[in-house]
Amino acid sequence: MQPEHKLSFIDRLRIMRETRFGAFVPVLLALAAIWAYFGLAVPLWEYWGDADAESIRFIFLSPRNIYNLFMQSAVIATLAVGITVVLLLGDIDLSAAATAGVCAALLGVLVLAGVPSPIACLIVMAVGIIMGTAQGLLVAYIGIPSFVVTLAGLLGFQGLMQKILPTGNLNVGDPFIRGFARVLLPDALGWALAITCIVVFAWLNLRKQTQRKARGLELDSNTAVWGQIAFFSVLMLATVTTLNAYRSVPLLIVLLMAITVLVGWVTTSTPYGRSIFSVGGNPESARRVGINVKRIRVSAFAIVGLMAAIGGIFGASRFGSVSYTAFAGGSLLLESIGAAVIGGTSLFGGRGSVWNAILGALVIGSLGNGLDLSGASAADKLMFSGAILLLAVAIDAVSRSGTSER
């Protein structure tokens, strides 16, 4: 009789990361820790340290700040969703923020030139797709590493944005563009959407269980299935309650969630999405089973370009202006890539989820928001963000090393 093999910590980490919802655990724990620190620990510390304080001020967890946090994280999340698709292939796009800046600047110029706003939005989305496709062609068919291609794209698009905006700033006051960030759903509609999402989520999970049972596949436990449904329900209801307590559910957040659902469905429930994971896991094996690896790579960069254009539109809507520092010249690129990686998407390809990117964006946004409320400097924000990013990459590398040792 062979002695029972005891799993190491690395093996347990690898097994957890490979489960259906295991990749969400680290980012959820990170988010909970950040919210607990800035939302509870800091206010209590300030109250006990101030003899003149009359009450505890839970500013971070207030409905107003949660609303602002969601809006601040929207552009980062949009770009992170697109970047995740490329990371699934084992590639990277360093030009996403600059692409968003070019598209936002072009949007402002077109609107000021008298082009109807909806048409202007469609034009800049087409431009974003073209910019992403051009880089994808260089990566897939010429064989230039994506790091080099997109680094060149970053520099070139930064210069192009400065050409479009000689003054470095352009106000965007168009009602249609601004409406993405300003329009709020009626409270009743927000509740209706939340309940609809809960019902659909529950139906999809129960339907998947039924399909797996019919095919003789391994089933998740009933506790796990209903636990996921309960967690999602509480999350949706708490979110709508909090947003309605301050203003209401913003249209921008609804659009972001709808886009994420679409991209998530494409990447997980379609032959195209399965091809992305196959190429990211083993390009040679994917090629041998008939997958057009080059075409998949080009299309992934096109998706990043489209998401960058949408992020540019959302940014112009939220800020009411387009500036070089807000897009190409700021920290948007690093925050977007960091959100995707912190969310659990592997830099080596083959593993990740767009929903992880949304959670990663909330981690980045929560950290910055909390440090701002605490009066921390910009240097402190960069150091804390870098530490969390390094920790996320280390977890990914350790879990993969556990796979290679087996």
- Give Cα separations from 265 to 123, 220, 273, 353, 404 (angstroms): 25, 20, 8, 10, 30
Q: What is the pLDDT of residue 170?
A: 87
Rounded distance between C-alpha atoms, residue 112 and residue 170, angstroms: 10
Give the number of other Cβ atoms within 10 Å of residue 64's Cβ.
12
| Domain parsing of the chain, residue ranges | 67-183+250-399
Model confidence, pTM: 0.87
Nearest 5 degrees, angle CA 179-CA 258-CA 306?
80
The tally of CA atoms less than 13 A away on the side-chain side of residue 286 is: 22
Q: Which residues contact 161 (CB under 8 A, 6 or more apart)?
A: 98, 101, 102, 105, 324, 327, 328
Give the number of other Cβ atoms within 10 Å of residue 19's Cβ.
12
What is the mean predicted confidence (pLDDT) over 331-339? 86
Rounded distance between C-alpha atoms, residue 140 and residue 133, angstroms: 10
Cβ 127 vs Cβ 336: under 8 Å? no
Tell me what the pLDDT averaged over the chain comes to.
85
How confident is residue 396, by pLDDT bands cut at 50, 70 and 90?
Answer: low
How confident is residue 237, by pLDDT bands cut at 50, 70 and 90?
Answer: very high
What are the tens digits of pLDDT across the range 188-206?
Answer: 999 999 999 999 888 888 8
Rounded distance between C-alpha atoms, residue 393 and residue 399, angstroms: 10
What is the mean predicted confidence (pLDDT) over 285-314? 93
Rounded distance between C-alpha atoms, residue 92 and residue 334, angstroms: 12
φ, ψ of residue 152 in degrees (nearest 5) = -65, -40
Q: What is the pLDDT of residue 404?
A: 47
What are the tens digits of pLDDT across the range 135-191?
Answer: 999 999 998 999 999 999 999 999 999 999 888 788 888 899 999 999 999 999 999
What are the tens digits of pLDDT across the range 84-112?
Answer: 999 999 899 999 999 999 999 999 999 99
Give the number of other Cβ atoms within 10 Å of residue 214's Cβ.
8
φ, ψ of residue 349 in degrees (nearest 5) = 90, 160
Q: Does residue 3 surpass a pLDDT of 60?
A: no
Q: Does residue 402 surpass a pLDDT of 70?
A: no
Residue found by looking up tokens 């095919």 in the block: 215
What are the tens digits of pLDDT across the range 46-69?
Answer: 777 666 666 677 788 899 999 999
Give the number of other Cβ atoms within 10 Å of residue 288's Cβ.
9
Helix or strand run (H / E) with residue 171: strand 169-171
Rounded distance between C-alpha atoms, residue 145 and residue 277, angstroms: 19
- Give Cα separations from 77 to 9, 104, 210, 308, 361 (angstroms): 31, 16, 33, 10, 5
What is the mean predicted confidence (pLDDT) over 105-124? 94
The tally of CA atoms less than 13 A away on the side-chain side of residue 372 is: 12
What is the mean predicted confidence (pLDDT) over 215-237? 81
How confident is residue 118, by pLDDT bands cut at 50, 70 and 90?
Answer: very high
Q: Does residue 248 surpass a pLDDT of 80?
A: yes
